[in-house]
Each structure stands twice: as structure tokens, then as C-alpha cells.
Amino acid sequence: MAVQNGLHKISTGDLLREAVRDGTPLGKEAKKFMDAGELVPDAVMLGLVRETLQGDTVGRGFILDGFPRTLPQAEALDQMLTDINRPVEAVLVLDVPDETIVKRLSGRRSCPKCGAVYNQFFDPPKQNNVCDKCGTELSQRRDDEAKTVQRRLDVYREQTAPVVDHYRRGPVRVQTIAADRSIDQVQRELRGALNL
Ligand code: AMP
């Protein structure tokens, strides 16, 4: 788990991909949903997040990336955080037009060896499909294939957008960040929003 400025980043997508790679029972269960661009069932996700938050991860605080993605997940998270006395302080919504999301996801390629991430449209490697850092052939996430990306956008609208409305009803601060800009600009704004 990455730590930045004393904050742990807990990405449920990364945790699931790790479980798929390791071939654990959780990974086997999650893979079919992930490959289809569907959400992994709430009960599975809540078990995973509960276990992660019980580990020694909360420190100064933590950023949840990709969670909660449904209303039941948000409600369960609120309860879990109340129980450990760490209520949600801020919700950051990264706003990007659909056309850009499609290009960012369908053009994304990553190195299976060192983890470097490229984009065929915005940040291509020097040699086509080969990692600049370690020379390994790049790969594409199954769920970044064009048809699955479209399904993921639909799922976001149906199941995840209501989570933002849930937090807008208060008392949590909800901040929308225009994320159709460079990595540096978005990162600066995110740091500002989190007082980092
Ligand atoms: P991400 O890397 O956040 O885009 O997540 C990749 C995939 O993992 C998603 O398309 C879902 O299939 C699954 N996933 C990640 N986080 C969640 C979540 N909070 N609830 C359900 N499924 C999730």
C-alpha cells in the first residue's frame, strides 16, 4: 500500500488486482465481474475493506480510491468509520468528460514487471508497446478494452453517481475537481483540497 505525505492510499481496484494475480479465492470470485466491467458484489467489497481498515493502515489518515462505489457500500463505510472514530472528512470527485475517459482507459498500457503506466495517446513509450524503464512488453487491463469501458461508464452512472448525492446531503465536504488537465495540475489541486 502506497503512503504519501503520511496518508495511506487504499485502492480497492489495486487490492482486487493483487488478489487476482495471487489466485486467491477472493481474486477468483472478483475476476469475472472485473473483466465484464461490473462491480464486485458489496458483501465481498465490504469484507475486503473491513479487513484492510483493521490492519495497521489508518495512521494519520487514509485516502480510499475507488470505494465506496454503491450506496450500500457508502452506508456501511459511514458505520465502519464511526465505529473507529474516523469519520469521512472530504469526498473528492474527479470530473472528466466521457470522451477523455474513453481515451485514457482504452489507451492505458502498463508494465507487468515494474508497474510503469503509459498512455498510447497522451504519454506513449519511446518504443511502441515496450516499457522505457525495463524493456518489458506492455500489457492492457482486460477491463480497459473499449466495450468494457462503455459498460464501466454506465455502471458509474447507475450505481456510483448516487453515492456523490448521498455525501452532498452532508455533513461531509464534497469537492469537485476538474480533472481533464495535466497530472501535475490535478495533483496540485488534490493536495490543496487535502491540505497536503
Ligand atoms: P478500478 O481500478 O478502481 O477502476 O477498479 C477496477 C474494477 O474492480 C472495477 O471495475 C470493479 O469491477 C472492481 N472494483 C473496484 N472497486 C470496487 C468497489 N468499491 N465495488 C465494487 N467493485 C469494485
The predicted-structure confidence for 54-102, as pLDDT tens digits, reads as follows 876 666 788 999 999 999 999 999 999 988 888 899 999 999 999 999 9
Give the pLDDT confidence score for residue 151 in this predicted structure: 94
Q: Are strands 90-95 and 3-4 parallel, antiparallel or unpaired?
A: unpaired
Residue nearest to atom 12 of ligand 1 (CA): 34
Give the pLDDT confidence score for residue 84 in this predicted structure: 83
3-state secondary structure of 9: strand
From ligand 1's centre to the CA of 168, what distance in Å?
Answer: 22
Cα–Cα distance for residue pair 101/97, rounded to 1 Å: 6
Conformation bin of residue 185: beta by default, left when phi > 0, alpha when psi is -120 to 50: alpha
Ligand 1 atom at shortest distance from the alpha carbon of 14? 2
Give the pLDDT confidence score for residue 86 in this predicted structure: 85
Q: Is the CB of 144 under 6 A from ligand 1?
A: no
Q: Which three cell numbers stand for residue 39?
A: 462491480
Q: Report whether pLDDT(1) > 60.
A: no
Give the pLDDT confidence score for residue 185 in this predicted structure: 95
Give the pLDDT confidence score for residue 116 in this predicted structure: 96
Q: Indicate the pLDDT class of residue 3, thresholds 50, 70 and 90.
A: low
Express each pLDDT in 130-187 by its tens digit.
999 999 999 999 899 988 999 999 999 999 999 999 999 989 999 999 999 999 999 9
Q: What is the pTM assigned to this prediction?
A: 0.90
Give the pLDDT confidence score for residue 192 in this predicted structure: 92
From ligand 1's centre to the CA of 39, what distance in Å?
Answer: 6
Q: How many angstroms separate the Cα of 18 from the Cα of each of 59, 103, 196?
A: 22, 25, 28
Residue nearest to atom 8 of ligand 1 (CA): 13
From ligand 1's centre to the CA of 100, what distance in Å?
Answer: 19
Q: Is the CB of 26 under 6 A from ligand 1?
A: no
Cα–Cα distance for residue pair 35/61, rounded to 1 Å: 31
CA dihedral 10, 29, 39, 175 (to 10 degrees): -10
Burial of 39 (0-12, 13-18, 19+ CB in 10 A): buried
Average the pLDDT over 42-49 and give the result: 95
Give the pLDDT confidence score for residue 101 in this predicted structure: 95
Q: Is the CB of 41 under 6 A from ligand 1?
A: no
Give the pLDDT confidence score for residue 6 in this predicted structure: 73
